[in-house]
Amino acid sequence: MISALKWIAGAAAFAAVATTSLARADDLGDDGRRADDSFLLLRDAVRQDDASKADFYAARLGNYSIPSYVDYYRLKPRLKDASYAEIRDFMKRYEGQAIVDRLRNDWLLDLGRKRDWATFDEQLPLFVLNDDTQVKCYALQSRALKGQKVAGEARELLTAPNGYGEPCAGLIATLYQAGQFNVDDLYAQLRLSGEYNATGQARRIVALLDGNEKKAVQAVDLPAIALAKGVGSGRVEHEIYIVAIGRMAKTSAKLAVLALNKAASKLSPQEQQEAWAAVALQSSYSLSPETTEYWQKSNGAALSIDQIQWKTRIALRNGDWKQVEKNIRAMPASLRADPAWVYWLGRALMVQAGSIQATGEAMQLFRSISDQSNFYGLLALEETGKLITIPLPGLPITQAEIAPIAANPNFQRALKFFGMRLRFEGTREWNWGLRGLSEREHLAAAEFARQNNILDRMVNTSDRTRIQVDYTQRYPSPHIDIMHPTTQTLGLDKAWVYGLIRQESRFIMDAQSHVGASGLMQVMPSTGRWVAKKIGLADFAQEMLSDVRTNILLGANYLNMVLGNMDGSQVLATAAYNAGPGRLRSWRSTLTKPMDSAVFIESIPFVETRTYVKNVMSNTTYYAALFEGRPQSLKARLGTVAPRGYTEQEQQESSFGSR
pLDDT tens, position by position, 460-491: 999 999 999 999 999 999 999 999 999 999 99
Structural domain contains residue 526 = yes
- Among 305, 297, 298, smallest CA distance to 196 is for 305
Question: Which of 440, 469, 498 corresponds to the end of one domain?
Answer: 469
CB atoms within 10 A of CB 538: 6
Q: What is the pLDDT of residue 32?
A: 86
Predicted confidence band at 358 (pLDDT cuts at 50, 70, 90)?
low
441-454 CB burial, b ≥16 within 10 A, e <16? bbbbbbbbbbebeb
Per-residue pLDDT, averaged over 526-553, amounts to 92
Q: Let me know whether 567 and 623 are in one domain.
A: yes
Model pTM score:
0.92
Q: What angle do CA 480, 484, 485 make, to 5 degrees?
A: 130
**pLDDT above 80 for 656:** no
**pLDDT above 70 for 268:** yes
Residue pair 202/243 in contact by the 8 Å Cβ criterion: yes
Q: Let me know whether 521 and 455 are in one domain.
A: no
Q: What is the pLDDT of residue 652?
A: 53
Question: For 24-157, where are the alpha helices, taking DSSP H only?
Answer: 30-47, 51-59, 67-75, 84-93, 98-114, 117-123, 133-145, 151-157
Chain mean pLDDT for the chain: 92
The full 3-state SS of 391-446, as one line of letters, equals CCCCCCCCHHHHHHHHHCHHHHHHHHHHHCCCHHHHHHHHHHHHCCCCHHHHHHHH
How far apart (Å, rounded) are the C-alpha atoms in residues 283 and 328? 20
Residue pair 362/350 in contact by the 8 Å Cβ criterion: yes
**pLDDT above 60 for 609:** yes
- Which CATH number is 503's domain given? 1.10.530.10
> Higher model confidence: residue 19 or residue 382?
382
Predicted confidence band at 515 (pLDDT cuts at 50, 70, 90)?
confident
Question: Which of 469, 499, 516 corresponds to the end of one domain?
Answer: 469
Q: What percent of the chain has pLDDT over 90?
A: 88
pLDDT tens, position by position, 277-305: 999 999 999 999 999 999 999 999 999 99
CB atoms within 10 A of CB 122: 11
Q: How many angstroms separate the Cα of 420 from the Cα of each of 25, 203, 511, 519?
A: 10, 43, 13, 17
DSSP count for the chain of H helices, then E strands: 40, 2
Q: What is the pLDDT of residue 647?
A: 58
pLDDT tens, position by position, 101-154: 999 999 999 999 999 999 999 999 999 999 999 999 999 999 999 999 999 999
Structural domain contains residue 342 = no
Q: At a CB cut-off of 8 Å and minimum separation 6, what does 44 contact?
A: none
Q: What is the pLDDT of residue 27?
A: 46
Structural domain contains residue 445 = yes
**pLDDT above 50 for 657:** no
Residue pair 253/283 in contact by the 8 Å Cβ criterion: yes
Structural domain contains residue 589 = yes
Q: Let me know whether 512 and 558 are in one domain.
A: yes
Predicted confidence band at 229 (pLDDT cuts at 50, 70, 90)?
very high
Predicted confidence band at 357 (pLDDT cuts at 50, 70, 90)?
low
Predicted confidence band at 651 (pLDDT cuts at 50, 70, 90)?
low
Q: What is the pLDDT of residue 26?
A: 42
- Among 215, 288, 205, 212, smallest CA distance to 250 is for 288
Per-residue pLDDT, averaged over 638-655, amounts to 72
In the three-class reduction of DSSP (H, G, I as helix; E, B as strand; rest coil), residue 595 is classed as strand
Q: Let me know whether 577 and 632 are in one domain.
A: yes
Q: Let me know whether 436 and 501 are in one domain.
A: no
Q: Let me know whether 515 and 605 are in one domain.
A: yes
Q: Let me know whether 589 and 524 are in one domain.
A: yes
Question: E-assigned strands of 508-637?
Answer: 595-596
Q: What is the pLDDT of residue 649?
A: 54
Q: What is the pLDDT of residue 4?
A: 34
How far apart (Å, rounded) are the C-alpha atoms in residues 411 and 394? 24
How far apart (Å, rounded) are the C-alpha atoms in residues 293 and 298? 9
pLDDT tens, position by position, 421-453: 999 999 999 999 999 999 999 999 999 999 999
Structural domain contains residue 513 = yes
Q: What is the pLDDT of residue 143?
A: 98
Q: Let me know whether 561 and 518 are in one domain.
A: yes
- Which CATH number is 412's domain given? 1.10.1240
Per-residue pLDDT, averaged over 642-655, amounts to 64
Q: Which amino acid is at 595?
A: M
Q: What angle do CA 21, 22, 24 make, to 5 degrees?
A: 70
Q: Let me know whether 425 and 563 are in one domain.
A: no
Q: Let me know whether 487 and 456 are in one domain.
A: no
Q: Let me know whether 516 and 567 are in one domain.
A: yes
- Residue 443's Cα: distance from chain center in Å? 24
pLDDT tens, position by position, 305-343: 999 999 999 999 999 999 999 999 999 999 999 999 999
Q: How far apart are the first and last CA of the chain?
A: 62
**pLDDT above 80 for 416:** yes
Per-residue pLDDT, averaged over 400-414, amounts to 98
Structural domain contains residue 534 = yes
List residues with catalytic annotation. Answer: 504
The strand pairing partners of 595, in sequence order, are 641
Q: What angle do CA 304, 310, 312 make, to 5 degrees?
A: 105
Q: What is the pLDDT of residue 16?
A: 40
Number of domain units in the chain: 2
Structural domain contains residue 509 = yes
Q: Give the HSE-up count for residue 16: Cα atoms under 13 Å, Cβ half-sphere.
A: 9
Residue pair 610/578 in contact by the 8 Å Cβ criterion: no
Q: What is the pLDDT of residue 17?
A: 35
Q: What is the pLDDT of residue 473?
A: 97
How far apart (Å, rounded) are the C-alpha atoms in residues 487 and 415? 33
pLDDT tens, position by position, 175-211: 999 999 999 999 999 999 999 999 999 999 999 999 9
**pLDDT above 90 for 348:** yes
Question: Which of 418, 450, 469 corresponds to the end of one domain?
Answer: 469
Q: Let me know whether 422 and 528 are in one domain.
A: no
Q: What is the pLDDT of residue 448?
A: 98
Domain limits for position 642: 480-657
